[in-house]
Chains A and B, each alone.
Chain A
Amino acid sequence: MMTKDELLGPLARQRSDRVVVTTMGIVRPWGRVSDSPFDFASADSAMGHAADFALGVALAQPQRQVICLNGDGSMLMTLGTLVTIVASRATNLVLFVVENGTYEVTGNQEVPGAGRTDFVAMAKAAGFARAERFADAAAFEAALPTLLSAEGPVFVSVLVAPGHEGPLGRGPEQSEPYLKLSLAESVRALRRALTSR
């Protein structure tokens, strides 16, 4: 079992100019370690739709890699997206499922199948080019450069201890830079960053 910091620290150091889409219990922790115009929080949006949003970005920007930090509860809401991602032939998408076994932002209620669901097996069955699970920080950090340079789509499950992130909000009072904008402003900021020459 890893901590969120053990997941996000190495990723923040190695992400370069990749797009990073976060959701739910990872939104604030990522906002504490990253402030990039290529960060996007799927917050104040629709639960379960971070991975498919990230797929859209990846298809529009085939020359740029897109990383999605999805939750296990969110992934369960749209398992069909695993199939859609593979069928789309998006080679520039790395989909993380951060498995903490709970709906963290609503109080850590257990997700269905927590500890029994094999997301890596599902990703492999859907046809992901590469699908791996990590529960050890050192092994994850050592593998990360390969995961980020591999031809995708790549699926990465990371077993992470539940945290205590509360419900998400947006507005100037938020301390994480990418939560200061409204969702509509935030998506336009990402579009500008991705389309400016």
Chain B
Amino acid sequence: MKRQRVTHVVGVPDNTSKALFEALHEEPTLRVLSVTREGEAFAIAAGLWAGGASPLVLIQNTGLLESGDAIRGTAMRMRIPLVCLVTYRGYAGLSKAGNLGAIDGPLLGRNELDSTAVLTEPTLTAWGLPFSFVHGDADLSRFTQAFGAARAQEQPVAVLLTRPTT
């Protein structure tokens, strides 16, 4: 984030991003702004960009689903080059389940599957939000690439963080 000159991190913490948020709070070169609901994060990030700053959004995938109209009407519609780091609740169970087939009511009600995880990637695809995965340190170049993609395409892109930060 420092190499990409991020000025503000806007979001809501969760278990997966706990260590990352703690590290960010210790970092003097950028500001962390906690919001009350994830949709707010995208509007604030859009305003920050309009004001000349370089924000990043950091939320959980549950909050991503909550943010639909805010993403559509602010960051997407305004074509803000914005990286959104999304922690992927339920990824491990989703990976174990293999091919799930069509999404329907019975699938979303299955106890061993987190319905948030089931809906995350199809929702991003439906919204036209490009995404990539970071499973560990070996994938961190994808994080850097996401900044380049956001700037080149002038739109938000998501990076899905599948394991807890430490």
Whether B79 and A56, one on each chain, are in contact in the complex, defined by CB atoms closer than 8 angstroms, is: no
Say whether B8 faces chain A, with CB atoms less than 8 Å apart: yes
The answer to whether A55 and B34 touch across the interface, beta carbons within 8 angstroms, is no
A108 beta carbon closer than 8 Å to chain B = no
* In contact, B46 and A187 (Cβ under 8 angstroms): yes
CB distance from B109 to the nearest CB of A (A): 30
A135 at the A/B interface (Cβ < 8 Å)?
no
Say whether A60 contacts B52, CB under 8 Å. yes
Q: Is B159 an interface residue (CB 8 A)?
A: no
Size class of B's contact patch? 20 to 34
- Contact in complex: A49, B43 (CB < 8 Å): yes
- Docked-complex contact B78 and A78, CB < 8 angstroms: no
Tell which of B36, B50, B80, B154 touches A57, judged by Cβ atoms closer than 8 Å: B50
Question: Which of B67-75, B116-124, B125-133 lies at the interface with chain A?
Answer: B67-75
Please name the residue on chain A nearest to B41 by beta carbon: A52
- Contact among B37, B47, B78 for A60, CB-based, below 8 A: B47
Chain B residue, CB-CB nearest to A49:
B43
* Chain A facing B: main interface SS: helix
Interface residues in A, total, Cβ within 8 A:
30
Q: Are A88 and B33 in contact (CB under 8 A)?
A: yes
Within 8 Å of chain A (Cβ to Cβ): is B77?
yes
Query: B residues within 8 A CB of A88?
Result: 33
A81 contacts B by Cβ under 8 Å: yes
Given contacts A84-B36, A88-B33, A187-B46, contact A49 B74 (CB under 8 A): yes
Are B34 and A87 touching (Cβ within 8 A)?
yes
A191 to B26, CA, bound (A): 29
Asked if A61 and B44 make an inter-chain contact with CB atoms under 8 angstroms apart, the answer reads: no
Q: Please tell me if the beta carbons of B51 and A56 are within 8 angstroms of each other in the complex.
A: yes
Which of A81, A187, A190, A191 is B40 in contact with, Cβ under 8 Å?
A: A81
- What B residues does A78 contact at CB under 8 A? 37, 39-40
Residues on B with C-beta less than 8 A from A80 are 35-37, 40
Residues of chain A within 8 A of B80, CB atoms compared: 187
Interface flag for A183 (CB, 8 Å): yes
**Contact call A194/B36, Cβ cutoff below 8 A:** no
Contact (Cβ within 8 A) A59 B53: yes
Q: Is B48 an interface residue (CB 8 A)?
A: yes
Closest CB-CB distance, A54 to chain B, in whole Å?
6
User: Are the C-beta atoms of B44 and A52 separated by less than 8 Å?
Assistant: yes
**Residue of A whose beta carbon sits closest to that of B55:** A56
15 more A-B residue pairs beyond the given contacts A45-B77, A46-B73, A84-B33, with a C-beta to C-beta distance below 8 A? A45-B73, A49-B70, A49-B74, A52-B40, A56-B10, A56-B48, A57-B47, A57-B50, A58-B47, A61-B52, A184-B78, A190-B50, A194-B50, A194-B52, A195-B51
Could you list some 10 contacts between A and B, CB below 8 A? A49-B73, A52-B44, A53-B50, A60-B49, A83-B36, A84-B35, A184-B77, A187-B50, A191-B50, A194-B52
